[in-house]
Structure 1
Amino acid sequence: MEYSTRPQRISCQYDYIRTIPGTLKAIQFLCDLVALILGATAPAISYSGHKGFFTFVAILAIIITTILFLLALINLQAVCIPDRWLLIEMFWCAFIALLFFIASIVVATIAKYNGVYGAAAFFGFAAFFTYLADAIYRFRLVRAGPRGRHTETYTSNTTTTTTTATRQQPTY
């Protein structure tokens, strides 16, 4: 079985933004930001624990999504832990999708008092769906095995060094 590999190095990968995970990260960031703005600026209600939890989830999502986006943009995940990166991002997306689902339901229950809460719930659900789509996409890549993971490695178009190797079966 022959395969081609390119040397992995830390460099800025602008093409990442055009990929499915890069586009999903950009949409996630925008949904998180709008949800945070709407959730934080909503008027306080006497039992505003709803608002606090929603704001916490949005801030957490913005911070971690930005970090993961920057790590993928500089290709650090392909250099440090390429075997586990898909699992890390898949579990992160599933976890934050669950938190956004819960937080959006909680905020939607108080939307009858102010429309800003309804808008925040809408963008919370939009963030939930984008994180869920990202988790499903990464789950499919994990299920595809090593052959399916080549789409998760981002290499520069200027790299021209290609190594061809033949993988041999071990003899017992």
Structure 2
Amino acid sequence: MNKVFQIIILFFIFSLVITSCSSAKKLTKEDTLIENEINRNDSIKNTVVNKEINDKLITSVIQSQTGNASLDSLVNAKVDEILSKLNTSKSSGDNSYNLIYDKIKRQLEFNARIAQTQDEKLAVQNNSSRLVFRDRKIPVEVIKPLSKIEKTLLILGVLAIIYIGFRILLFLRKTSGSWL
């Protein structure tokens, strides 16, 4: 029974030594794959710019000619008085107008300035393109080759196991003559 127990222990030690040594170690490396979703909205903006307007209107005021000189002078004086009271001007921002009566030239003058205007049209086009980047880990096996020192120690370990195995066999033959 003692020899059987020794053989079991030797077999256990031998199997531990054999399985613990590996020819190459496998490392795992993880690559990252990135996915992301991008939505694009394209818009087109049309702007129409109308230039400013400068307008001038001159109207001549005709003198009264009834044939009666005193009546004509009274009518003309009253027309000059009424039109002189119309002199006015207004302005707001870049917009303005004025109305002036010139007694000497007997003209009614109207000036208007209207600033430029803009008309904007916005057209939106939804283009939804999907560019996908997701954060996903992909395992990749990397086989690392053995260095010279590891190879040398591996060869020495195998030779030591073979030597110990022969020594055990010789010991067992000597102790029991009938075994092997």
Scaled by the length of structure 2, the TM-score of the pair is: 0.21
Q: Which has the larger radius of gyration?
A: 2
Structure with a larger share of its residues in strand: 2
Structure with a larger share of its residues in helix: 1
